[in-house]
């Protein structure tokens, strides 16, 4: 059984109609657990507060089949983010400062989990504070050389530091990003060209096995060393887009671990993300035809 880890922020997305469980790595772990239907062990590496939201976060992870054995509890408040949705369902975010996940500590348990890891997904937001940044980097560096080290860029102002982006690219061997993030990384590296050209240049410059680009309702592109998969989106009535990218990342992770070709990986991931867009919130049950993507 593959061991797949999401590491970084656990938080509550506070929508106009109330709070929903979230955080990109937590969404990733929940979607991995749901989509794998027991064929992978999904773990969460993060920290919550000793408070009601922290206890609810732990319960939410457990209900979705995520292993919470290394989720830490500390004196800081469980993370929250205020979410606003525009008329198209796209979200904007305002994050609470100095949350429990900013204080993730390295320990022997994390060392053991990292050593047995087949894939880890980490982002830039989870590294906004020095403590969690050092722990996340140490964890990723401690995974086997064969493991997928997936960087979900996840730029969120004002926590979108160029130095953290560069350092994270140095840790990763898989990169997942959206249109805006692709342009940001291209500017950072002084790259020019179309989307596929930019992705291939990023892959070569940072020794990446795969680069995946989500394009919203226009589909997605995955580039590998010797292939390109560029597929259209699936027409969807959007409830909101929260968590769609994280579910896409979960689907490509499971597909790559299963050894599928990148067209199959991409097609399944687009279908998963489309379904998430059709449902409210970031984590959910998936219909049978999307399982084991």
- Spell out the domain ranges in the chain: 2-290
* CB neighbour burial string for 132-159, b if at least 16 within 10 angstroms, e if fewer: bbebbbebbebbeeebbbbbbbbbbeeb
Residue 255 pLDDT exceeds 50: yes
Q: Which residues pair with 156 in a beta bridge?
A: 159
Predicted local distance difference test score (pLDDT) of residue 179? 94
* Contact residues for 191 (Cβ-Cβ < 8 A; gap 6+): 185, 197, 198, 201, 202, 205
Mean pLDDT, the chain, integer: 91
Beta strand pairing status for 119-123 and 91-95? unpaired
Predicted local distance difference test score (pLDDT) of residue 84? 79
Per-residue DSSP letter, 278: T
User: pLDDT confidence of 63, banded at 50, 70, 90?
Assistant: very high
Tens digit of each residue's pLDDT (9 = 90 or more) over 147-185: 999 999 888 777 788 999 999 999 999 999 999 999 999
Predicted local distance difference test score (pLDDT) of residue 111? 98
Region of 14 on the Ramachandran plot (φ > 0 left; ψ -120 to 50 alpha; else beta): beta
Query: Of 3.90.960.10, 1.10.275.10, 1.10.510.10, 3.40.1190.20, which CATH number belongs to 2-290?
Result: 3.40.1190.20
> Closest Cα partner for 211 from 279, 124, 170, 221?
221
Radius of gyration of the chain (CA): 17
> Closest Cα partner for 29 from 72, 60, 74, 73?
60
Answer whether 272's CB lies under 8 Å from 286's CB: yes
User: pLDDT confidence of 240, banded at 50, 70, 90?
Assistant: low
Answer whether 7's CB lies under 8 Å from 122's CB: yes
Predicted local distance difference test score (pLDDT) of residue 293? 46
Structure tokens, 110: 């994390």
Predicted local distance difference test score (pLDDT) of residue 280? 66
- Rounded to the nearest 5 percent, the helix, strand and coil shares of the chain are 40, 25, 35
Predicted local distance difference test score (pLDDT) of residue 3? 98
Answer whether 42's CB lies under 8 Å from 32's CB: yes
Per-residue DSSP letter, 173: S
> Closest Cα partner for 57 from 8, 7, 12?
12
Predicted local distance difference test score (pLDDT) of residue 158? 75
Q: How many alpha carbons lie under 13 Å from residue 36 in its C-beta half-sphere? A: 28
């Amino acid at each position: 059984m593959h061991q797949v880890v999401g590491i970084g922020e656990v938080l509550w997305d506070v929508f106009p109609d109330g709070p929903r469980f979230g955080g990109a790595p937590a969404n990733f772990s929940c979607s991995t657990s749901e989509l794998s239907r027991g064929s992978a062990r999904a773990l969460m590496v993060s920290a919550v507060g000793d408070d009601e939201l922290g206890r609810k976060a732990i319960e939410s992870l457990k209900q979705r089949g995520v292993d919470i054995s290394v989720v830490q509890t500390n004196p800081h408040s469980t993370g929250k983010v205020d979410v606003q949705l525009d008329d198209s369902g796209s979200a904007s975010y305002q994050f609470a400062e100095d949350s429990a996940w900013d204080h993730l500590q390295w320990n022997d348990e994390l060392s053991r989990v990292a050593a047995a890891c087949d894939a880890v997904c980490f982002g830039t937001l989870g590294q906004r504070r020095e403590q969690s940044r050092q722990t996340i980097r140490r964890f990723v560096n401690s995974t086997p050389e064969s493991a997928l080290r997936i960087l979900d860029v996840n730029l969120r102002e004002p926590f979108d530091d160029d130095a953290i982006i560069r350092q994270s690219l140095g840790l990763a061997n898989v990169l997942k990003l959206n249109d805006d993030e692709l342009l940001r990384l291209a500017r950072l590296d002084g790259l020019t060209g179309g989307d596929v050209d930019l992705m291939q240049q990023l892959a070569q410059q940072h020794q990446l096995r795969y680069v995946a680009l989500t394009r919203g309702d226009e589909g997605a592109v995955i580039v590998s060393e010797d292939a390109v998969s560029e597929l259209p989106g699936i027409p969807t009535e959007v409830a909101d887009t929260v968590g769609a990218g994280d579910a896409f990342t979960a689907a490509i992770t499971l597909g790559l671990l299963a050894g599928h070709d990148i067209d199959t990986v991409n097609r399944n991931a687009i279908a998963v993300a489309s379904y998430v867009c059709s449902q409210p919130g970031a984590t959910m049950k998936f219909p049978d035809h999307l399982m084991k993507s």
